[in-house]
Homo-oligomer: A and B are copies of this chain.
Amino acid sequence: MKYANRMKNLHASEIRELLKITERPDIISFAGGLPAAELFPIEEMAAVSATVLKEHGEKALQYSTTEGFQPLRKWIAERENQRIKTKLTEENLLITHGSQQALDLVGKLLINKGDVILCESPTYLSALNVFKTFEGQVLEVQTDQDGMIVSDLERLLKETPNVKLLYVIPTFQNPSGKTWSLERKKQILAVANRYDVAIVEDAPYEELRYSGEFTLPMFSFPESKNVIRTGSFSKILCPGLRLGWIAADVEVIEKLVLIKQSTDLQCNTFTQMQIVQFVQENDLDAHIARLIQAYRSRRDAAISAIKKYFPENTHYTRPEGGLFIWLELPEPLNTTALLEKSLERNVAFVSGESFYAEHPRYNTMRLNFSCMNEENIEIGFKILGELVHEELAK
């Protein structure tokens, strides 16, 4: 079999592979980006599944339009308008198979072989893989505690002729947990506009805020042009249903609909109707409030445990929301080697190197805190901290 050239760029996601190991019940896992399954609204989901099939069974199991179920698009538009002060209608929305597919469709829409994509350093691993699928070249923009560093972005835009896209996760970033300041968002948007570069603003974690203050995404700014926003039900409801969306200008959505037609025709009709029924019968905001309460407590437990068990010169982020804490261990510790040893002690995490598009930092790691309860966070972080101390003492 003669594979396409793009296959040379693709490597297995360490995280997806780790997911298999972490299915073992004896493993304490901080590896995946898994929401807490015990908080899924299972009974409510059973109720709405029954209602949808009883009342609209034929429709729910039949083909439907590529754009997505109209009441779902309308509901998302209205919710976004309220939350982030936009003026969206259903015409601005395409339903996708999770926000991962949103990235794939946008990649198809924009990226020619050799086009440059700029992203945060570090950034979401599976976005890197999407861009590589389309034979794009991904370059890193340096970041500080407020987001992408403006001067580094400008330098790259000056030096690089064929930048097509800026890919960013400004709120509770994966993997770093960082959130951009409002001022920084304004500055970065202004630079992107000046160089006529499109922005993909990925926002799957935005509603999971435990502290600090919400600020509008770039997509909502009056100066916003060529900003594509992606969202997801994975973190606010459940990821197994694989449903997300793209919000963008009508013209962009129309092009993306063409692409989705040939990619997989449409999303699962039944799932789309399940979610509409869910938000009609239940209070999604109240559900998210319960998630926030639980995750806040886990974040706090994780931060305390880092202070307690890790070496003093460990650097770590203190996320205001989302699912992840990012650690930089004292050099020359290598977290890939560390992972092997921690798995022997039944604790999993993700080493940081695969989140870098260009220059991996081998002493970094990502710790997820949403999936394990406070007790397991305490136990698992203690094991990790002890292991780090042992390695440093060698």
| A binding-site residues for B, Cβ under 8 Å | 1-7, 10-13, 16, 19-20, 32, 34-35, 37-38, 40, 42-43, 45-46, 49-50, 53-54, 57-66, 96-98, 100-101, 104, 108-113, 115, 126, 129-130, 132-134, 164, 198, 226, 234, 238-242, 249, 251-252, 255, 257-259, 261-271
Contacts and interface: CB of A to CB of B under 8 A. Distances in A.
Contacts of A239: 61-63
B110 A262 contact: no
Contacts of A63: 19, 32, 34, 234, 239-240
19 contacts: A4-B110, A4-B134, A10-B259, A10-B262, A13-B262, A37-B58, A37-B61, A40-B58, A42-B53, A49-B53, A59-B240, A62-B239, A100-B263, A101-B264, A104-B264, A108-B133, A133-B263, A240-B269, A271-B271
A101 B221 CA distance: 36
A112 B134 CA distance: 10
Contact of A12 (B10, B64, B249, B261): B261
> How many chain copies?
2
A108 B259 CA distance: 14
- A-B CB proximity, top 3 nearest: A42-B57, A240-B269, A129-B262
B240 A61 contact: yes
Contacts of A35: 62
Contacts of A269: 240-242
A258 to B, nearest CB: 5
Given A61-B239, A241-B270, 10 more contacts: A1-B252, A3-B110, A11-B258, A34-B62, A46-B50, A49-B49, A61-B238, A104-B263, A242-B265, A270-B271
A388 to B, nearest CB: 28
Chain A interface helix/strand/loop/mixed? helix
Most buried by B among A57, A262, A267: A262
A242 B60 CA distance: 11
A133 B45 contact: no
Given A10-B258, A240-B268, A270-B240, A4 B111 contact: yes
Given A50-B46, A108-B133, A109-B3, A265 B16 contact: yes
Contacts of A249: 1
A100 B46 contact: no
Contacts of A50: 46, 49-50
Nearest to A103: B262
A55 to B, nearest CB: 10
A108 B4 contact: yes
